[in-house]
Amino acid sequence: MKSARMLVGASAALVSVLAVAGCKKAAPPEGSGGSAVASAAAPSDAAPVAAKKDACAGGDKRGPLTWREDDFAGAQACARQRGVPLVVDMWAPWCHTCLSMSQYVLTDPAFAPFADRFVFVGIDTDRETNADVVAKLPINNWPTYFVLSPDDGAVQARFVGSATVPQFRDFLAQGEAGFLDAKAGGLAADDPLRLVRDGDRAVIAKDLVAADAAYTAALAKAPADWARRPDVLVALIGVKYKRSDLVGCVDLGLSAMDQTGKAASVADFLVWATSCAEERAKDDPAKAKALREHAVARLASLVDDATAPLSVDDRSDAMANLRELHEVLGDKARAHAVAERQRALLDDAAAKAPSPMAASTYNWPRAEVYVYLERPLDLVPVLEQSAKDLPTEYDPLYRLSWVQLKAGKLDDAKASAAKAAALAYGPRKAKILALAGDIAKAQNDKDGERAARAAVVALYQGLPAGQVTPDAIEKAKAALAAVDAPAAPVAPVAAH
């Protein structure tokens, strides 16, 4: 299941192009004597005037946008210097949707008008050096994007998951409108953009009741054709799931499913809706079945629509969710047919990818679908080549190890996991160590499993608070304890 992942008419007047041509040093005030000419006229024994450091120097230009990586403080200083909002991309190297957005969406020329209106920073959430940022901007789904005011860090907009180019432009427009509103006012109390911002801030504050109310109010106030409706619906249904409002979640799923557009928001919305239906199935099986059947029709229509503005990654996710629903409803033939379509789509995209990094976007979904189709060994050479092409990246080796485990190639899986763990860091290293534990268990190597499980506990306990939850630590401890737990007694088989 995928992790759930616009210039708006009412506030368009607030969205103006800020006349900033790039990262420039601030001009000295008039009469300050700070110019080169004034310095030349100063007495010869005057102390030299130190040049003011340009906070905006550097960055990595990808498409029309310049990104700073893992330097939140520097990016914030640049945004302050230029007087523009800060865009934060909370991502991780293992997140295929993050890679898809970075490689295929955010490089689009359509973002050129926004290049000088924002400062952009990418934050790898697994790096310990970013723990303070992760603690300030907690997320549950990757990627998550924020627009912040640079002076106080106030959240002006938030977007979860994959976006089309128009969706992301509208998200930036909302963030810019909020930034300008914070400086000069202009957004009415019942403006949908203000209400969405209130909901985003409530989510970060973990006030899910307030977030539910704010998103609901925004949707009620907005026009039926509001461009932000699909992603705000995703935010609302995610909040309902997280606050255990399963009845409200299922009802929203049924009533709003057809309002989620034609992009990745459809699948993201249905992930939450079907999760709620699964948990409600015993109490209300008829409604759960109705939601699943409606979801199948919705997803089938989406993946069959060649004009839908979906990236390959988005279309693959929709197919994966459709396949899972066919399985739940007992239609294995259709599930298998969808899997074959998904495999062909991903194979073609990987073959056409412009670089090894771009091709690695598809490593995980390809691994999952090849294993589902009982063809794991067919993908091993592909993942081996990906690991060779990207020798400093842990994720190709991690996916290779998982595929080798599923194929029963346990010694190979163990070796790949060890190489991946040597490159990995942060919470993802714990996942790789846990995979090593699974491999050792499959090898009946209790000492190896115990060592791997203990390493997971130790790693989690050593991570900063922003990067690990108490629940993750408790689950890791339970897995370690289970290694030496007595085996459950086998019930006697009755004679026939």
Work out the pLDDT band at 38, boundaries 50, 70, 90: very low
Let me know if residue 453 belongs to a domain: no
Per-residue pLDDT of 358-393, as tens digits, reads 999 999 999 999 999 999 999 999 999 999 999 999
Give the whole-angstrom CA distance, residue 322 versus residue 331: 11
pLDDT at 104: 96
Residue type, 77: A
Per-residue pLDDT of 121-140, as tens digits, reads 999 999 999 999 999 999 99
With pLDDT > 70 as the criterion, what percentage of the chain qualifies?
Answer: 88
Let me know if residue 133 belongs to a domain: yes
Q: Which residue has the tokens 């539910």?
A: 212
Let me know if residue 348 belongs to a domain: no
Full domain range(s) for residue 179: 55-187
Q: What is the pTM of this model?
A: 0.87
Which residue did the predictor score with more confidence, 481 or 22? 481
Least confident of 30-39, 168-177, 188-197, 315-324: 30-39
Q: What is the CA radius of gyration of the chain?
A: 25
Q: Is the pLDDT of residue 17 over 60?
A: no
pLDDT at 33: 32
Q: Is the pLDDT of residue 349 over 70?
A: yes
Per-residue pLDDT of 277-289, as tens digits, reads 999 999 999 999 9
Work out the pLDDT band at 65, boundaries 50, 70, 90: very high
Q: Is the pLDDT of residue 238 over 60?
A: yes
Mean pLDDT of 187-204: 95
Q: Which residues contact 445 (CB under 8 A, 6 or more apart)?
A: none
CB neighbours of residue 233 within 10 Å: 25
Give the whole-angstrom CA distance, residue 366 versus residue 376: 10
Let me know if residue 94 belongs to a domain: yes
DSSP 8-state symbol, 158: E
How is the beta sheet containing 155-160 ordered, strand by strand?
Answer: 60-62, 65-69, 119-124, 86-91, 144-148, 155-160
- What distance, in Å, lies between the first and last C-alpha atoms of the chain? 43
Give the whole-angstrom CA distance, residue 259 versus residue 329: 24
Tallying the residues shown for the chain, one arrives at: 496
Q: Is the pLDDT of residue 266 over 90?
A: yes
pLDDT at 185: 81
Q: Which residues contact 472 (CB under 8 A, 6 or more apart)?
A: 427, 430, 460
Which residue did the predictor score with more confidence, 39 or 222? 222
Let me know if residue 249 belongs to a domain: no
Work out the pLDDT band at 190, boundaries 50, 70, 90: very high
Mean pLDDT of 146-159: 97
Let me know if residue 266 belongs to a domain: no
Output the CA torsion 334→337→339→340 (10° steps).
Answer: 180
pLDDT at 327: 98
pLDDT at 490: 61
Strand, coil or helix: 362: coil
pLDDT at 54: 87
Per-residue pLDDT of 427-470, as tens digits, reads 999 999 999 999 999 999 999 999 999 999 999 999 998 899 99
Which residue did the predictor score with more confidence, 18 or 237? 237
DSSP 237-279: HHHHHHTT-HHHHHHHHHHHGGGSTTSHHHHHHHHHHHHHHHH
pLDDT at 491: 61
Q: What is the mean pLDDT of the chain?
A: 90
pLDDT at 24: 33
Strands 86-91 and 60-62: what pairing?
unpaired
If one counts the domains in the chain, the total is 1
Specify the CATH number for the domain of residue 93: 3.40.30.10
Let me know if residue 476 belongs to a domain: no
DSSP 49-73: PPPPP-TT---EEETTEEEEES-HH
Per-residue pLDDT of 293-306, as tens digits, reads 999 999 999 999 99
Let me know if residue 91 belongs to a domain: yes
Q: Is the pLDDT of residue 40 over 50?
A: no
